[in-house]
Amino acid sequence: MAPQAAQQIEIQPPALLSWSGRPELMGTAHQHDDLEINLVAEGGTMLYLFGGEPVEIGPGSVAAFWAAVPHQLIASTATRAYWVHVPFATFLGWGLPDALVGRLLAGTPLIAPPSAALAGDPANFAQWAQDLSGDRPEPRRIAMLEVEARVRRLALATPGQLATPGQPVQQVTSGDPTLQQVLTMVRHVAENFREPLTVADVARTVRLHPNYAMAQFRKVVRTTIVDYLTRCRLAEARRLLVTTALPVPDVAAESGFSSVSRFYTAFGAACGMPPAAYRRENQHDQPR
């Protein structure tokens, strides 16, 4: 069977790992069922598209987010960053406050300002990368305890960002008009993906001809407007499957799919399993 055009997103398996280096721009969005933690250690900022919203991580900032939401690094002036991936099942086992878990599941990143940076962050992230790259159980266990503590401190440092999911995030500082137009379009998709949307609807938000809007969108995001709309709907469907007991047809409708059959086709192509199987593997007795 030929691969479907909509399947441009990169799906990665969850994994406990950590590494560092110069950030590289991503040719397409990807997703993986991990808690992802970033530290911008040197240089400027990293700009992600995260579930349709621009998210900027500044120098010295630490950010954490649920990486099942499609995300893509589209601009960066950082020269060194650290990444930590914690499988979401491990994260849920930490017993963190429900409000914190709920906000992450709802797709709200936690981003500490540089003023909340800890002096030991670069050394700690470097140590975690070393510990998690080996197979010795005790260093890996110590690293996980320290990562958990850092996430708890991150939550304490970002109370203002943890209010209502869907709040506008900080404005992007880039003055590139093409980037600004694309960010306006992806924001419109993210805010309205539950409704019937056409390419013309999205192009109208930036007063561009649909064909030109599609070209500009693809230049930055490396995929089509329709495919990105599908990703946003799938991200919401994953969240509902994990956090609610809604029947699958209701999940499809709440996520913006026009029919259950289209939902099953898109979900199977993106996730490699039916919605019910994804729910069984990931729900972990979360509160409804």
pLDDT tens digits, 234-263: 988 887 887 789 999 999 999 999 999 999
Q: What is the mean pLDDT of the segment spanning 103-118? A: 83
* Rounded alpha-carbon distances, angstroms, from residue 162 to 65, 167, 227, 241, 264: 12, 9, 29, 22, 32
- What architecture is domain 10-161? Sandwich (2.60)
Sorted by where each begins, the domain ranges of the chain are 10-161, 177-282
Could you tell me what percent of the chain has a pLDDT over 70? Answer: 86
pLDDT tens digit sequence for 258-279:
999 999 999 999 889 999 999 8
* Rounded alpha-carbon distances, angstroms, from residue 239 to 81, 84, 161, 202, 255: 28, 22, 19, 24, 10
Q: Provide the token pair at 276.
A: 């019910």
pLDDT tens digit sequence for 119-164:
999 999 999 999 999 999 999 999 999 999 999 999 888 765 544 4
Global confidence as pTM: 0.68
Nearest to 42 by CA among 80, 77, 83: 80
Residue 190 scores a pLDDT above 80: no
Residue 226 has phi, psi (to 5 degrees) of: -65, -45
pLDDT at residue number 70 = 81
Cα–Cα distance for residue pair 46/59, rounded to 1 Å: 8
In this structure, whether the domain defined by 177-282 belongs to CATH 1.10.10.60 is answered with yes
Domains 10-161 and 177-282 equal at CATH topology level? no
* Rounded alpha-carbon distances, angstroms, from residue 141 to 94, 118, 147: 13, 22, 10
Mean of pLDDT over the chain: 84
Three-state DSSP state, 130: helix
